[in-house]
Amino acid sequence: METLMDVQALRNRMTSGRQTVLLDVRWALGNPHGHEQYRSAHIPGAVYVDLETQLCSPPSAAGGRHPLPEPAALEEAARQWGINDGDVVVAYDDTGNLAAARLWWLLRNAGLTSVHLLDGGLAAWLAAGYGTERGEEQHCLGDVTLDFGHMPVVRTEDVLALARSGVLLDARAPERFSGESEPVDPKAGHIPGALNSPTAGNLTAQKTFLPAAELRRRFAALGITETADVAVYCGSGITAAHEIAALELAGFRAALYPGSWSQWSQRADLPVATGP
């Protein structure tokens, strides 16, 4: 299963008429204008995906800011995007796939094997000299059947044990990990035993993923091996999926802690660590 597709491979698929479901997941924390930006310019044929409403359940103190969507709701959304069984799906955004990776993880978890991230996203498409379109696009209604549970997850009650026996990665920025800054969640700091591995470190200056060998060295330096139990969390379970994609490129398998810090920090009974 290839995690990435480059711009030329996507362009070749499009010009040769091979069936490709292209999905635009324009979203960033604190930026509510993703749909507007999509309407202004998107890769031809791309359907807009609303991360907040289609890739998450409603926020709650119990589940965090971006709980995983209900299976039936995700299946209905996937059909609205035009996905049929066996289709090749390519997702992208304009932030180095930090948002699109959530869709990649969800569809992989739902049993789809031909799901790819467009390496470099919209910026790479534009840098290659290819054009965009304006407005809204819709595919014909698809009939895909999703089958959930194909990607590992870790529950809140198992996180501390995993941090002791394996490797727990916190994919947030260093200042949020250390507790120096916390712009959105109730408490500042990190889960005790976690190691900081910001998602920004997975990317080049052009917002493409680092080569697999470099990613492997990065994660090996954190003590990750092919036999280690590894889990990843972030602020609310979105960018942690990007870290899981990077780990997969490096040859490692990792579980997602879906509620992440937004869930952990709501609980008065759970410990919090601060510092580097």
Catalogue the active-site residues. Answer: 234
Q: Enumerate residues 6+ apart whose C-beta is below 8 A from 95.
A: 28, 121, 207
Rounded distance between C-alpha atoms, residue 65 and residue 60, angstroms? 6
Sign of the torsion formed by the C-alpha atoms of 254, 251, 110 and 73: positive
Query: Measuring CA to CA, which residue among 102, 211, 226 is closest to residue 167?
Result: 226
